[in-house]
Structure 1
Amino acid sequence: MGTSADDEQGASPRDEEWPEVEKAEKLARGAALKWASGVFYRPENLEGLGQYRSRETQRNSSIQSRLKSTVQSYLEGVSAGLEQLRSAVQEVQSVCQELGAARWALLDCADRFQDLQQMRALMAEHVQLASVVQVLPQLFSVHEVFSHTLQLLRGQHLLEAHVEIMMMEHLRDNILSQLHLRGLSSAQATVLSYFSGLQELNESLAKQLWGIVGSSLQLVQEDPVLFVTAVRIIEREEKIDDTLLLDATFLPPGRPKGWRQKFYHVLQETITGTHFHTTRVDAGLSRHLEALQRDIVSELRVVKDLMVQCVPAHYNILSVCTATYHQALASHLQDILREDLDKQALFHLLKWVLHVYHSSEMMGHPDLLPEVDVSSLGPLISPELVDQTERRYVVKLKASVLEWMPRTLNREFEEWFREKEPKTDHQGFFQSDLPTDVIEMLNSNIKVTSSITSSLQQKVYNMALEELEAFLGRLREALVQYGKEHQKDPTMPKYYVPYLLAMLNNNLALSSFVPTLHPDSACREVPVSLQAALDRMQKKACQLLLEELLLDLQPLCVQLASRKWLSGSQLVNSMCEVIDKYTKDFSRVKKPVFTLLLTECEVLVANQYLRALMQKKMVCKSKEERGQFCDRLLQDATQLRELFCSLGLDRSQQNLEAVFAVRELLCLKDTALLSLEVLGFITKYPDVSDEHISTLLDLRGDVSKEVRHMVLEMMAQHPQALPESYQPIFSTILVPAPELPFCLRKGKCA
């Protein structure tokens, strides 16, 4: 028991230190037990127990020997490491002793270092005094050099003067640099004051240089040496600037001078100030642009042929001058466009900018190519400004057109009251100069813009159509006024009808001329709104002519469908004479309009004839009288139809066929068949109303109330829709209201 307790006490620290050992041992025992139970489960396997024991014994021995070898190797390494640590400790102790000795030695030399510091200060002072002594002759001669340099500048010995200035600047800058390095900034003011004359010399030199650069275009032709001298001085200063900028420790006052950039600036200011003045050039814009064209080409020739040879290649002087002219001209043109230019000035400016500037007459001149190329510099004026200028031109042009057209219309209106017939063409058609004048004026303005841009031409074309449409509206108003003047006095104007016919021919001419205005010759369509204006104009002229015809026909039409008319044919003969007279006048218009007038004339005659029938001036009292009425209708309608056929109007196009249809309705002998006859009638003429049919039934004089009711009932049961192509006939004819029955007297019914 005591032994067991000791084992537990001895094992306890190890288990606490290595808890995984116990766990591993338990796992190993468990695994061995499991293996043994599996192998010796059967009794016959117990015979090989000795072999298993022997094998495992050998295996354990091998493992133990390897463990011993590993532990031995580990212990030997630990021993070697400990030995090296002992050696390192000894060496560190030796180094510490030596460092302590060196420290005491340095402390002994501290006093000697103070002596060396005093020697160093004396040495620096000696160097400074030696430098001052060395430059003393130069310092004493500074003011004398200033005077000499000023005399050189006055004598235009620029290179020698610049050498003196560079020498003085070098001396001053060296002194300032030394003061800067030694932190003696307070002494710099004294030095700058001593060398203050340098600023005056630099300003005098610069003034002469920029004067030379400003006259460079003239000098390179007359005295290029002076210009080359100025460029050499500028390049010297540029190199000095570059050298000082690389050394960032100290930059002398006035540096960098940047004279090369100043050279470009002066050259650009000279070019800009010479030609591009912001004065008003409205009246002489054409001459001003021609002068610019001539001068710019001439000066660029000088730059290309002479100035390029006088400056270094990296100056790109030709490109710089080209860009300067281009930019200055662009700015100058913008200033010009801010003025209130007239249309001619705007037109000329657009043409010059868009065509002349890039042509062989200016920037594309053979003497400038191929070195001069402005295509890379962008447009002279922006596309937006071009569009704005085009719109301004169109506005000015529109104002001119608006001023011209009323005068033309007034002249035309005055001609309508002349005491002689209008002009005729080679075919004898009435006409005037109005359409030719208007179209030529508009066409010339449209065509001239083709030399600018297609967009401007399109804008002017659109404006021309708008103004032509407005002009047609005013022309129609003039026709209305013309008709009113004629109504006041039918004898005036003397040639009222011929001038109306001339206006119809003019309208037809305008309609044929309009497609020629379009910039694209392949486009021959007349805009819808303009065609409507032409149609309104034509309709008004036709209306006035037909009103004149109606005025002569009305006294005859009033007598139709009366007992006087029934007795003879003289009335229709008179109507035919009036119609023939007017159609002879109508023949003085060209065929499309003549056919229209003839058609409208036939419609008017048919309308007036049917209107006369609807007035119920007589009612057939007997069968014989009804037969006589129908015969007269047949004779009149046939005579009128043949007249219009002889004039060129086909029977199928005549509304007089409605008179024949009315006659068939009146001639029907059996009233019981009236419903069927009326049904055919309203099918052919769907715009006929109940009132029209009732009036025709009244004309017969033999229709009973029952038949009338049956006919009207049939019409109510068969309403007719108007076809799209149907031309109304009866809807324009009003039937007079029947007198109220049972009235005792005329006036208000009791």
Structure 2
Amino acid sequence: MGMSAGDERAASPRDEEWPEAEKAEKLARGAALKWASGVFYRPEKLEGLGHYRRRETQRNSSIQSRLKSTVQSYLEGVSAGLEQLRSAAQEVQSVCQDLGAARWALLDSADHFQGLQQMRELMEEHVQLASVVQVLPQIFSVHEVFSHILQLLRGQHLLEAHVELMMVEQLRDDILSQLHLRGLSSAQATVLSYFSGLQELNESLAKQLWDIVGSSLRLVREDPVLFVTAVRIIEREEKIDDTLLLEATFLPPGRPKGWRQKFYQVLQDTMTGARFHAPRMDAEGPGLAKHLAALQKDIVSELRVVKDLMVQCVPAHYNILSVCTATYHQALSSHLQEILREDLDKQGLFLLLEWALRVYHSPEMMGHPDLLPEVDVSALDPLMSSELVDQTERRYVMKVKASVVEWMQRTLDVEFKEWFKEEEPETDHQGFFQSALPAIVMQMLNENIQVASLITNTLQQKIYNMALEELEAFLGRLREALVQCGKEHQQDRAVPKYYISHLLAVLNNNLALSNSVSSLHPDTACREVPASLQAALDRMQKKATQLLLEELLLDLQPLCLQLPSRKWLSGSQLVGSMCEVIDKYAKDFSRVRKPVFTLLLAESELLVANQYLRALLQRRMVCKSREERGQLCHRLLQDATQLRELFCSLGLDRSQQSLEAVFALRELISLKDPALLSLEVLGFITKYPDVSDEHVSTLLDIRGDVSREVRHVVLEMMAQHPQLLPEGYRPIFSTILVPVQELPFCLRKGKCA
């Protein structure tokens, strides 16, 4: 529906004034049209038009009523606010009038205020003069009080002297404080000059206090009154210090005194006095032992006094027992480091380690029943740091090592001289040769290891490791001495006279050392001999065994040189003579203990077998007929059997003998059909894999009936079946060199020698 022109003119000014109203009206009309078009888009809906009109009329009436109510409430609030503003404006105007009147009144009274200021200054001056007049008697009596305090101090009436001293100090400090507050610093020098005697009295009192504290351990036992008095005075001064530091804006000269801290310092200096600054001590041990024993006695005695007596004479917050305990602990720690700077011998180092790590914590010192449980050093740092302990243990090990090396060298020198004496070595109750060397060496090493166990397990392990290293080095030097003795014996077999007996004693000694090494280890569960030391023991045994076998070889060689010969083939007693030599040495070998005796027998048997085979292979024989081969085989069988039975009778089992190689070699020579040699040789080299082509070729030569073709087949077969030495195999042929000779040895009576 449209509006008339008059309505538009009437609405124009309002629209200009309220543009939002026009916008709202347009939106409302648009919404209404949208709603009507949605409701009445079909003719049958027009029937409900009257119903919609009545509903909307009622709605509009309700909205208009609420709007009128809201506007009415708003207008009433605005009216009340305007009324309050009017009232406030009237009150402000009234206040301004009153302020103006007061201002004029104050301007009229300015002259009177100036008079009041002068009166105030006069009043302040009067108060000051009154204060001065009040303290004048005290000020005039200061020097008299000084004299009285001095008399009290000389008579050791310390509490009374301190009370008067505090009063004079309070007077001086009050005056200085007033001067400071009024900015009269120039006058302070005059006051300090007037009270200059205070400094001397303070120093005199302090000197007496520190003398008392310095004698506190004696005083608490004899007469604790003086000590308690000194502590009371110190506590008074501490309270004054605390009060001034917390409240005052001005610190008087000499404050804070810090006498409690000085008390601790004097007490600690007294406890760590001359005893911890002793002159240079004897580094050889006895002087150090005496010094440590004195320290132990004094510290226990003094801590007992502190615990039983001094604790009762001081406030609980002093923790005097803990302080004294820590003081002794730290002083001892520094003192031990100072002692360690000396070049201590092994006894001194041991004493120091034992004292610091064992005695110090034991019931004889800090664990004393009279000190427990109040004294507890477990919460403090170790007396010796782990680094210092390790360093000291290493120094001790080096000193022990030097002593061990020197002792072992002397033992070796004595042993070496014993070898060249004109008498046999001593024997044990079973008749085995021996010397005192193993007992001396092992006892020395074992004693040092056991002594180290008194300190720490780590030191014991260090000494154990050193002992094994030095024992290994000693075995090396002993072996060198044995080699030197062997060289001298080679030049003259009569020197030493009992050369073989001493070699057997060396073997028994070596076995004794080997059996004793495991007992050195501190832990019974870890008694395995180190590989390097076992190797040194093995080298020692091998060298002594080698020298003995060289002696046996020297006696066997003249007989072996007669192999082979016609005399030997014809049935001489050559092998019988060899058996006599072997039996003689076997009787000597029986003076050595069984494990080594068995080894000597096995090595001797191997030597005999090797020399026998060497003689056969290096001095080539050629059999010219079956009869000659039969004669040779018969001789080999008899010799090998006789030697085997000898060694069996001496206790060497057949399975351990190398003479079986002679029987196997005889089988090759006695084989009737040369065509079967390749098969026989294959079995031979399988059993004795160190046999070479040259050895087999020499054996074929000895037969004398092997053709070139058979030889080629045998050597070809060996080439196709290379042999590896099994583990634990004892070489027999590899040490036998077979030289090429132009003219082979033969059995023909007319041509053979």
What amino acid maps onto 1:723 in structure 2? P
Measured in 2, the distance between the counterparts of 1:302 and 1:58 equals: 110
Matches within 5 A, 1:534-553: 534-553=537-556
Q: CA deviation at 1:565?
A: 1.7
Matches within 5 A, 1:34-73: 34-73=34-73
Measured in 2, the distance between the counterparts of 1:188 and 1:736 equals: 122
Change (3 A) 1:10 1:712: farther
Q: CA deviation at 1:18?
A: 5.4
Change (3 A) 1:17 1:384: farther
Alignment pair present for 1:575 and 2:578: yes
Change (3 A) 1:64 1:151: closer
Matches within 5 A, 1:239-388: 239-281=239-281, 282-283=283-284, 284-388=287-391
Alignment pair present for 1:598 and 2:589: no
Measured in 2, the distance between the counterparts of 1:559 and 1:25 equals: 153
Measured in 2, the distance between the counterparts of 1:23 and 1:719 equals: 120
Q: CA deviation at 1:80?
A: 2.1
Q: CA deviation at 1:736?
A: 0.6
Q: CA deviation at 1:511?
A: 0.6
Write out per-residue CA displacement over residues 519-543 of structure 1, whole angstroms, 9 at most, x where no aligned residue.
1123331111111110010000000
Change (3 A) 1:652 1:246: same
User: Residue 611 of structure 1 is aligned with which of 593, 610, 614?
Assistant: 614
DSSP-derived class of the 2:719 partner:
helix
Measured in 1, the distance between the counterparts of 2:45 and 2:711 equals: 141
Greater shift in the superposed pair: 377-386 or 651-660: 377-386
Tell me, yes or no, if the aligned pair for 2:620 and 2:698 is still in contact at 8 Å: no
Greater shift in the superposed pair: 521-530 or 427-436: 521-530
Write out per-residue CA displacement over residues 404-459 of structure 1, whole angstroms, 9 at most, x where no aligned residue.
11100000010011111111111111111100110001001111121111111111
Alignment pair present for 1:95 and 2:95: yes
Tell me, yes or no, if the aligned pair for 1:563 and 1:618 is still in contact at 8 Å: no
Tell me, yes or no, if the aligned pair for 1:486 and 1:492 is still in contact at 8 Å: yes
Alignment pair present for 1:643 and 2:646: yes
Count of matched residue positions in the alignment of Structure 1 and Structure 2: 740
Tell me, yes or no, if the aligned pair for 1:435 and 1:510 is still in contact at 8 Å: yes
Tell me, yes or no, if the aligned pair for 2:433 and 2:592 is still in contact at 8 Å: yes
Change (3 A) 1:739 1:5: farther
Is there any run of 5+ residues in structure 1 with no aligned partner, and where?
Answer: 742-750
Alignment pair present for 1:445 and 2:484: no
Greater shift in the superposed pair: 505-514 or 280-289: 280-289
Measured in 2, the distance between the counterparts of 1:484 and 1:571 equals: 30
Partner of 1:625: 628
CA RMSD of aligned residues (A): 2.0
What amino acid maps onto 2:561 in structure 1? V
Partner of 1:746: none
Write out per-residue CA displacement over residues 19-39 of structure 1, whole angstroms, 9 at most, x where no aligned residue.
554554444334333333343
Percentage identity across paired residues of the two chains: 84
Partner of 2:693: 690
Greater shift in the superposed pair: 363-372 or 726-735: 363-372
Tell me, yes or no, if the aligned pair for 1:616 and 1:695 is still in contact at 8 Å: no
Partner of 2:731: 728
Partner of 1:656: 659
Q: CA deviation at 1:687?
A: 1.5
Tell me, yes or no, if the aligned pair for 2:621 and 2:701 is still in contact at 8 Å: no
Measured in 2, the distance between the counterparts of 1:209 and 1:22 equals: 103
Q: CA deviation at 1:305?
A: 2.6
Partner of 1:202: 202
User: Residue 706 of structure 2 is aligned with which of 703, 714, 718?
Assistant: 703
Partner of 2:749: none
Measured in 2, the distance between the counterparts of 1:580 and 1:6 equals: 165
Alignment pair present for 1:712 and 2:715: yes
Measured in 2, the distance between the counterparts of 1:64 and 1:308 equals: 97
DSSP-derived class of the 1:365 partner:
coil
What amino acid maps onto 1:468 in structure 2? L
What amino acid maps onto 1:592 in structure 2? P
Measured in 1, the distance between the counterparts of 2:467 and 2:476 equals: 14
Change (3 A) 1:74 1:310: closer
User: Residue 475 of structure 2 is aligned with which of 472, 477, 480?
Assistant: 472
DSSP-derived class of the 1:522 partner:
helix
Change (3 A) 1:640 1:317: same
Change (3 A) 1:314 1:55: closer
Q: CA deviation at 1:9?
A: 6.5
What TM-score does the superposition give when structure 1 sets the normalisation length? 0.95
Measured in 2, the distance between the counterparts of 1:14 and 1:687 equals: 136
What amino acid maps onto 1:142 in structure 2? V
Greater shift in the superposed pair: 426-435 or 137-146: 137-146
What amino acid maps onto 1:399 in structure 2? A
Measured in 2, the distance between the counterparts of 1:41 and 1:320 equals: 107
Change (3 A) 1:740 1:279: farther
Write out per-residue CA displacement over residues 566-589 of structure 1, whole angstroms, 9 at most, x where no aligned residue.
122311111111111111111111
Alignment pair present for 1:399 and 2:402: yes
Q: CA deviation at 1:258?
A: 1.1
Write out per-residue CA displacement over residues 56-114 of structure 1, whole angstroms, 9 at most, x where no aligned residue.
22322222232222222222222222222222211111111111111111122211111
Measured in 1, the distance between the counterparts of 2:686 and 2:322 equals: 88
Q: CA deviation at 1:243?
A: 2.5
DSSP-derived class of the 1:303 partner:
helix
Partner of 1:31: 31
Measured in 1, the distance between the counterparts of 2:195 and 2:741 equals: 127
What amino acid maps onto 1:435 in structure 2? P
Write out per-residue CA displacement over residues 293-334 of structure 1, whole angstroms, 9 at most, x where no aligned residue.
111122222222332233233322222222211211111111
User: Residue 558 of structure 2 is aligned with which of 555, 560, 563?
Assistant: 555
Is there any run of 5+ residues in structure 2 with no aligned partner, and where?
Answer: 745-753
Partner of 1:748: none
Partner of 1:167: 167
Tell me, yes or no, if the aligned pair for 1:450 and 1:457 is still in contact at 8 Å: yes
Greater shift in the superposed pair: 493-502 or 281-290: 281-290
Measured in 1, the distance between the counterparts of 2:40 and 2:5 equals: 35
Change (3 A) 1:17 1:488: farther
Q: CA deviation at 1:492?
A: 1.0
Tell me, yes or no, if the aligned pair for 1:500 and 1:545 is still in contact at 8 Å: yes
DSSP-derived class of the 2:321 partner:
helix
Alignment pair present for 1:113 and 2:113: yes
Partner of 2:590: 587
What amino acid maps onto 1:676 in structure 2? L
Partner of 1:135: 135
Tell me, yes or no, if the aligned pair for 2:453 and 2:460 is still in contact at 8 Å: yes
Change (3 A) 1:212 1:45: closer
Measured in 2, the distance between the counterparts of 1:714 and 1:226 equals: 115
DSSP-derived class of the 2:526 partner:
coil
What TM-score does the superposition give when structure 2 sets the normalisation length? 0.95
Measured in 1, the distance between the counterparts of 2:630 and 2:150 equals: 135
Measured in 1, the distance between the counterparts of 2:674 and 2:307 equals: 110
Measured in 1, the distance between the counterparts of 2:19 and 2:735 equals: 127
Partner of 1:488: 491
What amino acid maps onto 2:342 in structure 1? E
Change (3 A) 1:202 1:707: same
DSSP-derived class of the 2:563 partner:
coil
Measured in 2, the distance between the counterparts of 1:19 and 1:562 equals: 154
Measured in 2, the distance between the counterparts of 1:44 and 1:166 equals: 118
Greater shift in the superposed pair: 74-83 or 471-480: 74-83
DSSP-derived class of the 1:573 partner:
helix
